[in-house]
Structure 1
Amino acid sequence: MTAWYEKSFGEDYLLVYKHRDVHGAYEEVHKMIHWLKLHPHADVLDLCCGMGRHSLALADAGFQVTGVDLSDVLLNEARELDTDHRVRWYHADMRRLPLKARFDAVVNLFTSFGYFPEDVEQLKVLRAMHDVLRPGGSFIIDFINTAHVKKHLVPHSVREDEGQRIEELRRIQDGFVQKEIRITDLTAGTEPRIYKESVKLYAREELSGMLQEAELQVDQVHGSYDEEIYDEQTSPRMIFVGHRPAD
């Protein structure tokens, strides 16, 4: 059976999420550099890099950047944007990284975590991050905040873009936030193309415990890129910043 993340990050994903802007990525990278305390020319891995907005912003900031993603479609988009070939792009599953290099920092951004039904699979991602980090290297995991999701979830929305009707249905079920996306070509009269998204919800203590199990130490948790302090009830994000302890 094909997992949802093997199907959903294709050409239609570029349409659904094209509102994500490049300028915002540069602002977020500026904050990440401050949190991670990166030295000039540091080696940074963007794990689940998507179409490469943050990878390219990190490269522009002077870092040596590697981007990894499972989606060939998104990687091809990233390569087209990377006109100067500044980033090394790799196709890989985030649980099994075919990288021999060690990195000064690993970033996993905008809820590119929690994709698997079992915690043991999420733990494989954290252990993979540990293994590619140099001792003392730092990490960011930018995740959704469960309380905020529950309070602000929009069950249903519809919009039109490029002649396509985009309908999104959202719900929380069995500890996951679930989304179904239906895209209908308004000119062709065909059946909608349907995609699923499913992300496991975690409390701060749960994810902190998993990071500890993966031998990664949490130093700070931020509530957004504009919030230095995380508030469990009100923060929109749950951004973990930490490091791999020295061996």
Structure 2
Amino acid sequence: MGMAWYEESFGQDYLLVYKHRDMQGAQAEVKRMVDWLELPEGSKIFDLCCGMGRHSVALADEGYKVTGMDLSKVLLAEACKLEDSGRVVWLEGDMRRVPADGPFDAVVNLFTSFGYFEEEAENAKVLSEIARLLKPEGRFIIDFLNAAYVAKHLVPHSERKDEGVVIDERRSLEDGFVRKRIVLSEPGHPDRQYMEQVKLYGLDDFRRLMAGTGLVIDRVFGSYDAMSYEPETSPRLIMIGHKERTV
């Protein structure tokens, strides 16, 4: 058995492929999240799949006590470079088995860090973990792709050059997943290949998967501009909700 795609893809090459993601954008998105969460300063927030830590740090800047977790040692190393003063607790772990107990006032899962697994039961475990981490009536934000929008706007092929590396990306819809195949070509080196995939879940799917977890969706937005969610045209599926006091 080889490594799963998410164990291979989030390494040094990921930093090159996605280096256009900036801190300024994360700060603007967090400002909106603060409005949605309606939590006082000092509240404990868990950033599930924190990546390079941009949103974790921006949340800490807003006065929250933040824990960020990711599976990738490479991305966590970048997060530590971004914030090493102890304001954010960084953890390494799998989102299906989070090495923390909480309770937290909020859990955020951002930029389509969900739907990575082939088996639906494995994806459902992530929602159960969010519920486990939350205190009763704790808040959550899940920011996911909008499947219909992705299908309509999918760019099958793109290519660019960065730092002397040709980055070739091919995207497709297959078996209920959106898949991206990435080939990095560099003179004097063998090509490096990666695959990313995300299950195309819709709003009704999330409601179905949350049944029995105690998680309840309260509001849904289609972007960080707080546009109402339109199933066919919204670029994002951003769900804000809470954990019921009793399950």
With the shorter chain as reference, the TM-score category is over 0.9
Distance 2:79 2:48 in 1: 13
Q: Secondary structure at 1:213's aligned position in 2?
A: coil
The one-letter code of the counterpart of 1:241 is I
1:168 aligns with 2:179: no
Aligned 1:1-247 pairs, distance under 5 A: 1=1, 2-186=3-187, 188=188, 190-247=189-246
Q: Secondary structure at 2:218's aligned position in 1?
A: strand
Distance 2:12 2:84 in 1: 20
User: Kindly, what percent of the aligned residue pairs are identical?
Assistant: 54
The one-letter code of the counterpart of 2:39 is L
Residue pair 1:123, 1:214 contacting (<8 A) in 2 also? no
The one-letter code of the counterpart of 1:217 is V
Structure 1 residue runs of 4+, over 4 Å off?
Answer: none
RMSD, matched Cα: 0.9
C-alpha displacement at 1:97, in angstroms? 0.9
**What TM-score, normalized by structure 2, do the two folds share?**
0.97
Q: Secondary structure at 2:28's aligned position in 1?
A: helix
1:111-161 CA-partner distances (Å, limit 9, x unpaired): 000000011001100000000100010000000001100010000000000
Residue pair 1:177, 1:201 contacting (<8 A) in 2 also? yes
Distance 2:202 2:128 in 1: 19
The one-letter code of the counterpart of 1:128 is E
Residue pair 1:79, 1:85 contacting (<8 A) in 2 also? no
Residue pair 1:177, 1:198 contacting (<8 A) in 2 also? yes
The one-letter code of the counterpart of 2:227 is E
C-alpha displacement at 1:39, in angstroms? 1.2
1:208-231 CA-partner distances (Å, limit 9, x unpaired): 211233220000111010133100
Distance 1:101 1:239 in 2: 23
Number of residue pairs matched? 245
The one-letter code of the counterpart of 1:7 is E
For structure 2, list consecutive stretches of 5 or more residues without a partner in the other structure: none
Distance 2:179 2:212 in 1: 27
Distance 1:39 1:138 in 2: 12
Distance 2:167 2:88 in 1: 32
**What TM-score, normalized by structure 1, do the two folds share?**
0.97
C-alpha displacement at 1:49, in angstroms? 0.1
The one-letter code of the counterpart of 2:237 is M
Distance 2:212 2:55 in 1: 28
Distance 2:176 2:15 in 1: 27
For structure 1, list consecutive stretches of 5 or more residues without a partner in the other structure: none
